[in-house]
A and B are shown apart, each in its own frame.
Chain A
């Protein structure tokens, strides 16, 4: 007995339905947990999915929550499409946040027209630098990048912690947080008296550029070829190493921007919880988005809704706020499994 996989690509109209089916299935599975706390599942889903979109304030909050996810999701999508398994968006985000803080602390009296581009370039460069070693090891030595990028996440977190407990420790409160960055280095607000900031626009621009590069340029075509099959790409005369290296570095840079955006747009100083796992959630965004830039954008917004919703469901029904995290993790695994349907027809057979 066993499962048999028959190569049989799903019809085109079915593919966009896969993430939707995955969402439905995920909610069906996680209903058990809602029942465990004696809450009404329909009410819970109302607070999860409708409440966050029902007022202007909460919609803005959804966009705020989505901002770093748009960037980390874009970063992971770009790397995965190019065949570089970057698990290190978390570390690259922290590198970008650290660079942004370092630059932002020096920007007193500098015009925002200079300070903001410097923050963005510096964060992008720091993210690139953080992925450089795993990328070179993959390209030059054929060493798998999954573990190296993953381990550098822990190193980045320790690095941030060393800075916050050392040179950057707040001199007044003695808390492990950096002093505040200069006002000129803070991202302007898009809507007065809200938390929505320039980072959101930055993320949308990145997604649009990424869509253009991946689907409208020769480089994007080469990248996708390398991602599908490095051997075939090499045979077709593509410089596989160079292409992989660029995919990896750009991905690291975009993840670095997520760190810039959180420092310059939300927190204004570095704390060790600056990421809150957004680097890892980027992998969920990319998977749910089917490794497509628009898909990643929608997925990031959807996850922003769930994130916001988990707080309202917790307030209203007393369901632990971590239900949101359970749903997201389940969604990742369910989507991953359902994506098989894109390429295979799966049959249950009695005799393997």
Chain B
């Protein structure tokens, strides 16, 4: 028991929580923005995977070519891959008005298959997993006790909590664009009548969302792992889908949900290494079960965006 209450254990746990939560924050805020515009993007799992792959492949190639900013090239490439998927999702669900959940799943299947295909293409079938020199951790508080190690984190973790969440919140609630975005998601007919370009707004929401999702995936391959493997996302996108509902479509609550899940995940890893025999799968299933329970309890009062899952067509 002493092990569990020691400062080292807690500090390590908090630091790990922030790290684990980082890709979830990116994905959840991205999905919140997309869903507030009235589009459920089930492509998230695949877009995070594609971001992780494209980011890694571009960085590895640039590193091999001796470019100094190879990690940034990777991050940029990941973002572009996310934007391309957003464009495809927009074509399917906004322009053509197709079924959002089947389109989204199709995007996930496509992005996943393309990444695996690309991985074989770029790196061949070698038995040694290729790796890169990843982003270094920053130490803004140096060796100071407690806060030193807690805030020894990757730049993208700072970006997630200090930029993505506040800017996402500000964008949604404090800008004209956010107002338009939310009205397009609540009532596209009224928004259209008020002169808002429904199609352009939805495309932009998809683009911002997918860029964030892809960056979240790239965080894993470019920072926390420095490698790419087929199990790199392992359902994190679906966790984000759950967190968005759990957070009632709000970026700040989404961040809290990501921290909560990050904490549970980090805790089970640590308990396992300390030799506690516990079915960790039960803990990992919590975000899904809690979300389903929350939906059941809120029942008919779940505040879905008004135009959730509904395509918009001008008659």
Contact = CB atoms under 8 A, between A and B. Distances in A.
B309 interface: yes
Q: Most A CB atoms within 10 A — which of B92, B106, B291?
A: B106
B117 A33 contact: yes
Given A147-B245, A158-B285, A161-B281, A336 B95 contact: no
B174 interface: no
Contact of B109 (A133, A148, A161, A332): A332
A236 interface: no
A152 interface: yes
Interface in B210-239: 235, 238-239
Contact of B304 (A2, A133, A144): A144
Contacts of B289: 155
A33 B116 CA distance: 13
A320 B120 contact: yes
Interface bracket on A: 35 or more
B12 interface: no
Interface residues of B, number: 50
B34 to A, nearest CB: 14
B292 A340 contact: no
B291 A325 contact: no
Contacts of A155: 285, 288-289
Contacts, number: 132
A3 interface: yes
B61 interface: no
Given A287-B102, A329-B113, A340-B98, A162 B314 contact: no
25 contacts: A3-B96, A5-B313, A87-B42, A137-B296, A141-B299, A143-B299, A148-B295, A151-B291, A151-B292, A153-B238, A154-B235, A158-B282, A162-B279, A283-B102, A284-B106, A287-B102, A320-B117, A320-B121, A322-B116, A325-B113, A328-B109, A329-B110, A329-B112, A329-B113, A336-B92
Interface of B: 40, 42, 88, 92, 95-99, 101-103, 105-107, 109-110, 112-114, 116-117, 120-121, 199, 235, 238-239, 241-242, 245, 279, 281-282, 284-285, 288-289, 291-292, 295-296, 299-300, 302, 304, 308-309, 313-314
